[in-house]
Structure 1
Amino acid sequence: MRRIHNGIAATELEGVVWQKARMSNSQGNCVELARLADGDVAVRNSRFPDGPALIYTKAEIVALLHGVKAGEFDHLAE
């Protein structure tokens, strides 16, 4: 089994299903996420699908989503 690590080439993550937000823009400028077999989540830039993927634990993704829902990152989109 291949070792999964941060910065792994997204093409090495075989069999994952990448998903991006329905609200992503028509130019494809979005991040895509995929659940890995061990429950971790891979994140990649949709403009560079063969590029590196960052790997986060489920707990890290849960914390991020709670922060997003609470508006903690709204200032980044202003």
Structure 2
Amino acid sequence: MHEFRNGTPARTLPVVWRKSRRSNPNGNCVEVATLPSGEVAVRNSRFPDDPALVYTRAEIAAFVLGAKDGEFDDLIV
């Protein structure tokens, strides 16, 4: 199985990117994709060819659950 690392050019990953329905049409959104290894890749939609960040399922779960619990509400303007 291929190992994907942080910094891999997003355009080279064998994935289908998706973004939130709450994203706006100005391209200000984060896109995510599940890698064949089960990890999750993240990229900036404004720079789709730039490097992706790669997270384990446990790391993504910690972030998503924290967001659901309101831990990052202070970041919303």
Sort the TM-score into its range (normalised by shorter chain).
Answer: over 0.9
| Aligned residue number for residue 57 of structure 1 | 56
CA distance in 2 between counterparts of 1:25 and 1:63 reads 25
What is the correspondence of 1:21-32 to structure 2 with a 5 Å cutoff? 21-32=20-31
CA positional deviation for 1:66:
0.3
Matched AA of 1:29:
N
Q: Indicate if the aligned counterparts of 2:30 and 2:43 stay in contact, CA closer than 8 A.
A: yes
CA distance in 1 between counterparts of 2:3 and 2:67 reads 30
CA offsets per residue over residues 28-63 of structure 1, 9 Å max, x none? 100000000111000000001111100000000001
- Where has structure 1 moved over 3 Å in runs of 4 or more? none
| Aligned residue number for residue 13 of structure 1 | 13
Matched AA of 1:70:
D
What's the TM-score once normalised by structure 1's chain length? 0.92
How many residues get paired?
77
Q: What percent of counterpart residues are identical?
A: 60
Greater strand percent: which structure? 1
SS in 2 for 1:61: helix
| Aligned residue number for residue 35 of structure 2 | 36
Q: Indicate if the aligned counterparts of 2:31 and 2:44 stay in contact, CA closer than 8 A.
A: yes
CA distance in 2 between counterparts of 1:34 and 1:2 reads 16
